[in-house]
Each structure stands twice: as C-alpha cells, then as structure tokens.
Amino acid sequence: MQILIATKNKGKVSEFQSMFNQYGIEVISLLDMENIPDVEETGDTFEENAILKAETICNKLNIPVISDDSGLEIDALDGRPGVYSARYAGSHKNDEDNMNKVLNELEGIPNQKRTARFICALAFARPGKDTFVVKGLCEGEILHDRRGTEGFGYDPIFFLPKLNRSMAELTKEEKNKISHRANALIKLQDFFNEEDML
C-alpha cells in the first residue's frame, strides 16, 4: 500500500517514511511528482491549513492524501511564529534565518519564560468522503544557542527538559517516539484502525 503525503518538505517526508515503514506502507510525496503547484496556506490555524492542503491535492489527483501543517508556538512571543513558522523571517529565507529571528527576539528572556511547543495537524482527505483532522503537541523550551545536527527546521533550538537534549540531538527513531508529528500520527492510526484501513 502507498500513501501520498502532500508535502514538499524533505524533513517531514523522511520522518513519515520511517514512521509508516513499520506498517509496510510506502510513503510518496509531492517531491516525487511534477507540476503540482504549492497550495497557498491561507488558514488561521494549523488544522485549517492541513485540511486546505489535503483536500486541494486529493481533489486534483483523486486519491487519498495526508497533509501535515506544523510549526512552533512560543509563549513569550504570544504564540509566534505559529502558522507562519516556515516563512517567519520572510518568504525567501531558510531555517537558519528563522532560528536567528527567534533567538534575537528572545534575547534577555530567562529560561523559565522560554516555554514553547511544536504543533502538528494532520489531515486525511479521501475522494467523496469527509476529511479527518488530528493535532499532536510536543512541549519544550527555546535554547539560547543551537544544539545538535539531526532533524530539520527549528529542532536545534528546541530543548526537551525531560530528556535534557535538544530535538536535534535525538536520532530520528527517538524523535519519532515523542514528537508532535508522532503524537498526531498515533491519533490518525486510531482512526485508521476503526476504519480498518491498515
């Protein structure tokens, strides 16, 4: 069985590949396809954007699709970057620029006020059926400097107090046990099981 993940983010694809591997499910993504334009993320919430991405690609290709809208919510920044996580430093900037912007904005903020969470909304859209959406969280704190080289996005500045490591200091297998994406996927699996999909 194959599942299409409606994303062009290599980091997400790699995590979904290892998470679905255990079920013998092959993950394909928009990186494997040509001529699929980006879906504009106009929603105000992660759920809205995930539904938008999944339904747009499902309607276009007429096959079941899972999409992932995710990001980082920082309490001291009133929840920013939130749904703007991918383009926080500007639409042509990269992960390094985004992390620099966050670190600059948090300069002088003490550890106990640097609480944050990763959020992941997964939407599952199927032709002719209602779309199902779930949300997973992962709580942590924003570091003062980068630590680690694994993962992607904001992982090097996201600290997990219970593990005493940054997200980028975890192996992919370790991250996939505790991440916002893993927590959302567990909820989606419950749905799959109920619907006898796996």
Nearest to 180 by CA among 126, 129, 116, 124: 116
Candidates 56, 70, 166, 183: give the one binding ligand ITT (CB under 6 A).
70
Helix (H, G, I), strand (E, B) or coil at 134: strand
Q: Is 152 in the site for ligand ITT (CB under 6 A)?
A: yes
* Stretch 99-128 residues interacting with ligand ITT (CB under 6 A): 118
Q: Is 95 in the site for ligand ITT (CB under 6 A)?
A: yes
Told to judge if 69 belongs to the known catalytic residues of this protein, a careful annotator would answer yes
In sequence order, the β-bridge partners of residue 121 are 69, 135
Least distance CB 168 / ligand ITT (angstroms): 8
CA distance 75 to 61: 39
Task: Identify the residue whose tokens are 């969280």.
Answer: 137
Helix H segments across the chain?
Answer: 10-21, 46-61, 95-105, 172-178, 180-194
Instruction: Pick between residue 125 and residue 195 the one whose CB is nearest to ligand ITT.
Output: 125
Catalytic residue among 69, 95, 97, 145: 69
Q: Is 80 in the site for ligand ITT (CB under 6 A)?
A: no
Amino acid at 70: S
In sequence order, the β-bridge partners of residue 125 are 65
CA distance 140 to 143: 9
Taking CB under 6 A as the binding criterion, the range among 18-26, 124-132, 148-156, 185-193 that sits at the site for ligand ITT is 148-156
Q: Is 154 in the site for ligand ITT (CB under 6 A)?
A: yes
Binding site for ligand ITT (CB under 6 A): 7-9, 12, 41, 68-71, 85-86, 95, 98, 118, 151-155, 179, 181
